[in-house]
């Protein structure tokens, strides 16, 4: 439905054979071999969160809705009081 309305779709997955890949414009794989019994697949979740944050920053940068990265780093350092 979203593609019919002109939206760009992206999929972040750990599974190569997911049927959802056929419905997305972009597919990002976070391939970590993990125990299927493990309820908290930490490695995959961390990789997916990093990828999602990166996509957000790149989109915001392209739309010029954030400062340049040096200003962003300075603002984060002030906020987090790292320096």
- Count each helix (H run) and each strand (E run) in the chain, helices first: 2, 2
Domain ranges of the chain: 10-80
Query: What is the rounded average pLDDT of the residues 32-48?
Result: 68
C-alpha to C-alpha distances, 28 to 1, 7, 23, 53, nearest whole angstrom: 20, 17, 13, 13
Residue 10 has pLDDT above 70, yes or no: yes
pLDDT of residue 28: 86
Other CB atoms closer than 10 Å to residue 44's CB: what's the count? 19
Query: What is the rounded average pLDDT of the residues 15-30?
Result: 87
Residue 76 has pLDDT above 70, yes or no: no
Residue 82 has pLDDT above 60, yes or no: no
Q: How confident is the model at residue 55 (pLDDT cuts 50, 70, 90)?
A: confident
Bridge partners, residue 26, by sequence:
10
């Amino acid at each position: 439905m979203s593609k019919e309305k002109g939206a760009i779709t992206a999929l972040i997955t750990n599974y190569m054979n997911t049927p959802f890949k056929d419905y997305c414009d972009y597919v990002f794989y976070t391939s970590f071999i993990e125990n299927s019994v493990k309820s908290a697949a930490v490695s995959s979740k961390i990789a997916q969160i990093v990828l999602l944050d990166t996509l957000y920053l790149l989109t915001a940068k392209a739309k010029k809705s954030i400062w340049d990265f040096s200003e962003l780093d300075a603002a984060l350092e002030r906020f987090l009081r790292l320096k």
